[in-house]
Structure 1
Amino acid sequence: MLKKLFFVALLLLCGAANVSAQTMRLATYNIRYDNKQDTTNAWGKRLPYLTDLIKFQDFDLFGTQEVLYNQLQDMAGKLPGYAHIGVGRDDGKQAGEFSAIFYKKDKYKLLKQGTFWLAPNTTAPVKGWDAALPRICTWGQFQDTKTGFTFYMFNTHFDHVGVEARRESAKLILAKVKQMAGTTPAILSGDFNVDQRNESYTLLNTSGVMKDAFTTAKVVYAPNGTFNNFNTKTKTDSRIDHIFLTSAFTPTRYGILTDTYGGGKTPSDHYPVAIEVQYSAKK
């Protein structure tokens, strides 16, 4: 009997030894589209500070919003360690804003990718419900090249006008996560254009599918809200940029990065949200 118990314990220890805790750094960043009326905050002036921030923070993957094709090319040129996925929302190619996902190309293998529109017809560039603009969600299935850990990342930008559109978009994305990822670990990042007190945020956070990393992280650094309108004097607790996680991920750190340059300028009119998560993966 004792020998049998010893053998079982040994098997359990061997199984535990083959599973290790891994760490991943994630972010979501609305970079502000290249608006020619932005003079002091022109894209060309902001670009090097924005990409330097990303490199310094050493994100493994990050979702972006409001990215025009020329900005996508500019960022790719300054971030050679990253590959990216995504399409323009206006034609499914290069027109309109992207919700691109960037990932470290030496660390992750892209298994699948796609984009769906936030509308009853998810396959065409259309506006959904009462939305003012076409809205999309870009997704990728990734695999860690060392451990084989496989996961999904979804990245989106909800409409800024349509209340019904935001509500239905939240329901649609939850359905897509359940349908596509199933029990596979999943991440949802984005600019949701609503804060933590809003109905569509609550739909996501209380769904039982995913939780906002802010609500469960062990260490939280949130000196401000996430939208700054290029004004660092704006003070709010309103968070409209979020990262939601399935239960496979344990957020250890959450931060709203309020970096500035040039005497108080911000790289975007949104502050990026950055998190560190732990997860278990087989060696």
Structure 2
Amino acid sequence: MTGIRVVSYNVRYANRNDHHDAWHERRDAVARLIRFHHPDILAVQEPVADQRRDLRERLPEYALVGRGRDADGDGEGCPIGVRTDRFQIADHGTFWLSTTPESPSTDWGATHPRVATWARVQPVRGSNSGRETDDSDRNVNDDSERRSFLIANTHFDHVSDRARRESARLLRRQLPEIAANSGETASDDETERSLPIVLAGDLNCTPESSPHRILTGDDVTDGIDTVENADPSDTPRSLRDAATAADLRHGPTTSLTDFARLIDGRRIDHVLVSPAIEVKSFATLTDRDDRGRYPSDHLPVLVKLTLPADR
């Protein structure tokens, strides 16, 4: 079994109107927070090109992949970082949350182009790089029990309800296809044939919302807007909310801040996982910087997961 730690963190885009919470005042604190919690996988939302460069410079232990949402590769992105002492990225890509996901595009009333970045992650053979105090969570000694997995990172539109619903449906179709085409076919059973999936991101919606219910399979037909999505009989396997599935949960039930205070009732940052993945714990991290402020207008979420053994 493979234990991994995943952090999902909306770091707030570099807004020049943020004054004393501008990116140059926060970037070191964001990097220190990540390095302190030392996740194996990092999913970051909203950074523009300069922020992605700053994160690469400050987090050299991570291989960071993912492009911006604009046609030229600039703009906000959803990059994925992987600790190079434990894992390597075998393949990765970015698609747009739209009716034409293969090209830069905006649909369904979204205010901006929205993307999902994915990476197929493989263990580094022969490594034994678990944290000294946390080896029991990682279980990295036996290469035969370690397996690859698919990590995806996304950021749903903040205005359009329809865009969030359709984005959820698109991810339910796209991610299983990517996982099934990984080249790791072990049996005729779909759960064995496909890679385990971890989806992280700022979904701009709470657990009771339609997009969340679509992703978790609670209501795949809710608010259907298009004929091509109207048949619920051919729906891919749903995901589980790590916060709900966790054996241990810690921290506030919101993930939104105004840099100084928590905004109640807004758990909009999520980690969703395949049914076969065990969720050991889920935490919403409330670390403040040396000014006593939150380093972003979102709180990072941390999950400890156990992947099923490879076969």
Shared fold, TM over 0.5: yes
Match of 2:258 in 1: 229
User: Residue 51 of structure 1: CA displacement?
Assistant: 0.6
**Given the alignment of the two structures, is residue 53 of structure 1 paired with residue 37 of structure 2, yes or no?**
no
- 8 Å CA contact 2:254–2:266 kept in 1: the answer is yes
User: Residue 278 of structure 1: CA displacement?
Assistant: 1.3
- 8 Å CA contact 2:82–2:88 kept in 1: the answer is no
Match of 1:189 in 2: 200
Coordinate RMSD, CA, aligned? 1.5
**Given the alignment of the two structures, is residue 160 of structure 1 paired with residue 151 of structure 2, yes or no?**
no
**Given the alignment of the two structures, is residue 42 of structure 1 paired with residue 19 of structure 2, yes or no?**
no
For the residues of structure 1 that align with 2:310 and 2:117, how far apart are their CA atoms?
A: 28
TM-score if structure 2 supplies the norm length? Answer: 0.81
**Given the alignment of the two structures, is residue 204 of structure 1 paired with residue 212 of structure 2, yes or no?**
no
Q: Percent identity?
A: 33
User: Residue 223 of structure 1: CA displacement?
Assistant: 1.8
Identify unmatched segments of 5+ residues in structure 2. 126-142, 181-193, 219-236
Match of 1:113 in 2: 92
**Given the alignment of the two structures, is residue 96 of structure 1 paired with residue 88 of structure 2, yes or no?**
no
- 8 Å CA contact 2:10–2:45 kept in 1: the answer is yes
For the residues of structure 2 that align with 1:64 and 1:185, how far apart are their CA atoms?
A: 20
For the residues of structure 2 that align with 1:162 and 1:35, how far apart are their CA atoms?
A: 22
Name which of structure 1's ranges 68-77 and 255-264 shifts more when overlaid on structure 2: 255-264
TM-score if structure 1 supplies the norm length? Answer: 0.88
Match of 1:131 in 2: 110
1:111 maps to amino acid: A
For 2:17, what is the secondary structure of its paired residue? coil
For 1:73, what is the secondary structure of its paired residue? helix
User: Residue 235 of structure 1: CA displacement?
Assistant: 4.5
For the residues of structure 2 that align with 1:178 and 1:160, how far apart are their CA atoms?
A: 25
Number of positions where the alignment pairs a residue of Structure 1 with one of Structure 2? 261
- 8 Å CA contact 2:256–2:263 kept in 1: the answer is no
For the residues of structure 2 that align with 1:236 and 1:38, how far apart are their CA atoms?
A: 21
User: Residue 49 of structure 1: CA displacement?
Assistant: 1.1
For the residues of structure 2 that align with 1:280 and 1:153, how far apart are their CA atoms?
A: 15
Identify unmatched segments of 5+ residues in structure 1. 1-20
Match of 2:242 in 1: 213
- 8 Å CA contact 1:196–1:238 kept in 2: the answer is no
- 8 Å CA contact 2:82–2:89 kept in 1: the answer is no
Match of 1:8 in 2: none
Match of 1:280 in 2: 308
**Which protein has the larger Cα radius of gyration, Structure 1 or Structure 2?**
1
**Given the alignment of the two structures, is residue 140 of structure 1 paired with residue 119 of structure 2, yes or no?**
yes
- 8 Å CA contact 2:196–2:307 kept in 1: the answer is no
Spell out, residue by residue over 1:238-278, the C-alpha distance to the aligned partner (whole angstroms, 9 max, x if none): 21000000023111110000111234311100000100011
- 8 Å CA contact 2:63–2:84 kept in 1: the answer is yes
